[in-house]
Copies of this chain bind each other. A is one copy, B any other.
């Protein structure tokens, strides 16, 4: 039986070794005072161990508030950063994903001994791989259901994110399906709201998808957002299955690990894992969790597709972090097929596809462009026309039909973003980024998007 290994980045103005020991104690057999039953024998068996410390840079000010300072020290303090590796006895935890989280991501964030603590990565004993089945479909199963091989799966997101009726959503899917799209997903904001109930949406969308499949032999994979309480998720899942659907989507943080593990047991379709809320976990470099650790938990719980953001994304994340996330999803944990299919999404359009291929070296990706396709000057279908020509022999290192298609979107975007109202326009004020949706819907917008 091997230990659970967790690697952290910490920051402290106290001795690093001491703080690492405090974290190890707090997260295993210790507390803030010695207690009677905490014998040497018990500690040897149950106390987590500090196995490695690597000093990093230091700072003049603390990253997080509430850190205690050493007594009797005058003058400015140095906040040392370090990577520390802890080893937790498996016998404390067992192959129990939720309690693993309480152990490696629990109270330690609140300790005043540090001014920064981020879980970087995890190594788990084989018992976790034996207990948790991992992805049911993964890359191979998803490709089979989508009928797409040897190239990325190209897709989009229903936009507007919320506000379309079931019939309007289905009409959009018809347009996209006829243009040859592989994959469409609900926005994470659209689950089972009163304006667009999931049952009606499934019915309307699957009628379109099934009709198209009869005509063309290609069944568009639609990830219906079933995020809800567990009984409702299972009911939604059954609705999707009964209508011939091939994918369900879940907002992972909203549902939680126990909900996902239970869904996985009952699920007959690939689970598309949306990571919304992820910024909360990771945007600060010294608080939370990094992707390599995080994705292992969700893969074990059974997710088949995992969002990784995208290159040149609309969010804050740098490209090298996105590439690292892609690689993490594709690195086997316990079996060659326990990888999750990375989903590139957020501010994507075809233009990033070749660079994505160059940096990740794989076509085992879902490439999901929402606004980047839906806002094409000539409509969503036009944005996808090139996709029909993308074949198994596509070489992403040279301009592909998708990349060429992307060119027009890039140009349109550039023109759109740089548009200014004519000086004589009475009702216009200079467009600001936040007002883009409204201010640019003017006849003078050179992009013609609106």
Contacts and interface: CB of A to CB of B under 8 A. Distances in A.
Given A15-B434, A18-B433, A66-B317, 20 more contacts: A14-B434, A15-B432, A28-B189, A33-B413, A34-B375, A37-B172, A42-B164, A65-B283, A90-B194, A96-B191, A99-B189, A102-B251, A105-B253, A105-B280, A106-B189, A109-B279, A113-B434, A233-B258, A258-B259, A284-B287
Contacts of A306: none
A432 to B, nearest CB: 5
12 contacts: A17-B434, A28-B162, A29-B163, A33-B374, A34-B440, A34-B441, A35-B160, A37-B172, A110-B278, A113-B434, A254-B258, A258-B259
Interface stretch (A19-27, A52-60, A76-84, A144-152): A19-27
A160 B18 contact: no
A251 B38 contact: no
A375 B32 CA distance: 10
A292 interface: no
A293 to B, nearest CB: 12
A261 to B, nearest CB: 5
B287 A160 contact: no
Interface stretch (A223-231, A326-334, A357-365, A393-401): A223-231
How many copies the complex holds: the figure is 2
B227 A99 contact: yes
A36 interface: yes
Using C-beta atoms within 8 Å of the partner chain, give the interface range for chain A.
Answer: 35 or more
A317 B110 CA distance: 8
B27 A105 contact: no
Shortest 5 CB-CB distances between A and B: which pairs?
Answer: A256-B256, A66-B316, A109-B279, A258-B259, A18-B434
A111 B280 CA distance: 11
Contacts of A280: 105, 109, 280-281, 287-289
A190 B28 CA distance: 9
A199 interface: no
A450 interface: yes
A92 interface: yes
A218 interface: no
A161 interface: yes
Contacts of A2: none
A2 B346 CA distance: 31
Contacts of A100: 254
A404 interface: no
A101 interface: yes
A313 to B, nearest CB: 8
A309 B108 CA distance: 13
Contact of A251 (B31, B36, B98): B98
Given A36-B375, A276-B107, A112 B316 contact: yes
B163 A110 contact: no
A43 B162 CA distance: 9
Given A189-B92, A257-B259, A106 B287 contact: no
Contacts of A160: 29-31, 35, 37-38, 42, 46
A94 interface: yes
A435 interface: yes
A50 to B, nearest CB: 10
A64 to B, nearest CB: 5
A103 interface: yes
Contacts of A17: 434
Interface in A323-379: 346-347, 370-372, 374-375, 379
